[in-house]
Amino acid sequence: MAKLRYAEALNRALREEMQRDPLVFLFGEDIGSYGGVFKVTRGLMDEFGAARVRDTPISEQTLTAMAVSAAMAGSRPVLEIMYADFMPLTLDALINQASIYEYIWADQVRMPFVLRTQGGGGAGAGAQHSKSLDSLVAHIPGLKAVAPATPWDAYGLLKSAIRDPGPVIFLEHKLLYNMRDEVPDGEETVPLGRARLVREGTDVSIIASSRMVHESLLAADRLAGEGIAAEVVDLRSLRPLDLDTLLGSVARTHHAVVVNEGWRFCGYAAEVSATLMDHAFDDLDAPVARVTMPDLPIPYSEPLERAVLPGPDEIVAAVRRTVA
C-alpha cells in the first residue's frame, strides 16, 4: 500500500477524477502554473491543460458564483479557496444559491461542485489565515461538509465529494498537508456521512475531526497511563453527521468530549454536544464536554497561538472532568 502525503493524496484524487470524468475541472487562485500554495494541484495543469485547470483573479465571491453556474450548466467544478478565512466572501453564493437552487428550481438543476479550502492554526499565519470555520458551512442546510484527518480519507472523501450530486465543502488543514500515511492502491472511495472509530475505549468517547483527531489520540495515550480508556471517533463528515456511530460509541462509554478547533460560542462542538443530549441523554453518565478554541482572535505570536489552540492538555483535562 502506497504511503502518500495528505497533499499528494488529494492531488491523486483530483487527477483520477479528472481522468475518469471529463466534466471535472479545477479553478482557483494560483492553482495552475504555481500548483497551489500548498501544492495540492501540482502538475495538473501540465497534464490536463489550462482549460481544465484554470488560474483565476482574486475574487472569491465571483469564483463561488462561477462554481454554482458551471455546476448548473452540467459540469463538475472543483474550486479552491486558498484560506478558509476567506470563506465569508463565498457565502452569498453558498447560502443564497448553491444550497437552495435545487429546491427553488424544483429539481430542474443539479449542483455538483466541490469547494476545497484549508483552515486551522498552528502555522503562525495570524488572525486572518488560521481560522477553523466549520460551523459557518456546516450550519447551512443543503451543503455537505467534510474535514479529513488522514491522507486516506483526504483521498477517498475528495473522490466521493466530486462524485456527489450536490455541493460539498471540503475542509483541509494546513498542518496536515505533510502528514504521510497509507492510501489505498486501487480505486476506493470513502463515503460521505460516515465517521470512523479510530481508537476503541470503554470510558469516554472523544469526538473530533481534522487535526483535532490527532491531538485527541495524543490525549488518549496520556489518559491510558492514568487508567482511562478513551475511544476516539473521527467524524470525517461534519454534515451529514454520522449519528449512529456517535450514539453507538456513547452507549458504550457513557461519557463524551467533543473537540473542535473552531470557536466555542455557537460552534460546531456545541451542535454535536446538543445532538448527543437530544439522542443519548439516557446513556450519559455526565454532561457532554467541549474542547474548543476560546472566543478570541488567533494570535500571530507563536507562544500565544499555542496557548489558545486546543491540544492534548485541554482534552485530557476535559476528559478527567467528565469521567470524575
Partner 1 sequence: MARDITVSGLGGEYMDTATVVAWHVQPGEAVRAGDLLATVETAKAATDIEAPCDGVLSEVCAVVGEEVAAGSVLGRLDDGTADTVPEADVSATPSNSSQPTHSDVSAGSERSAGRHDRVVASPLARRVARDRGIDLATVPGTGPNGRIKLRDVEGLAGGDPPRSATAVRPRPTSARADASIVLIHGLGATPSIWHQILPTLGQTAARVERLTLPGHGDGVATERMDFESLLDAMRSQLGGRDLDGVHLVGHSLGGAVALALADERPALARSLTLIAPAGLGPEIDGAFLAGFARATRPDSLRPWLERLVADPECLPAGLAEAALQARGAEPAGENLRRLIDSLFPDGTQAFDLRSALHRVRVPARLVWGRRDRIIPWRHALAAPGAVAMHLLPETGHLPQIEAPDLVAALIQQTVAAALAGP
The residues binding partner 1 (CB under 8 A) are: 74, 107, 110, 112, 160, 163-165, 187-189, 191-195, 202, 240, 242, 244-245, 248, 251-254, 281-286, 321, 324
Spell out the residues 6+ positions from residue 306 whose beta carbon is closer than 8 angstroms to its own: 122
> Pairing between strand 168-173 and 256-263?
unpaired
Nearer to partner 1, 25 or 263 (CB): 25
Smallest gap from Cβ 282 to partner 1, in A, equals 4
User: Cβ 110 to partner 1, closest distance in Å?
Assistant: 5
Write the CB contacts of 189 (distance below 8 Å, at least 6 apart in sequence).
Answer: 156, 157, 159, 160, 163
Shortest Å distance, C-beta 237 to partner 1? 8
Nearest distance from C-beta of residue 284 to partner 1, angstroms: 5
Render the burial of 254-277: b for 16+ CB within 10 Å, e for the rest.
bbbbbbbbbbbeebbbbbbbebbe
Which amino acid makes up residue 10? L
DSSP string, 19-72: HH-TTEEEEETT-SSS--TTSTTTTHHHHH-TTTEEE--S-HHHHHHHHHHHHH
Q: Which is nearer to partner 1, 28 or 201 (CB)?
A: 201
Catalytic residues: 60, 129
Are the CB atoms for 209 and 134 separated by under 8 Å?
yes
Bridge-based pairing state of the strands 289-293 and 180-183: unpaired
CB closer to partner 1 out of 71 and 298? 71
Q: Toward partner 1, which CB reaches closer, 131 or 254? A: 254
**Which residue reads 449519528 in cell numbers?**
243
- The dihedrals phi and psi of 212, each to the nearest 5 degrees, come to -65, -20
**Minimum distance, C-beta of residue 189 to partner 1, in the bound complex (Å):** 7
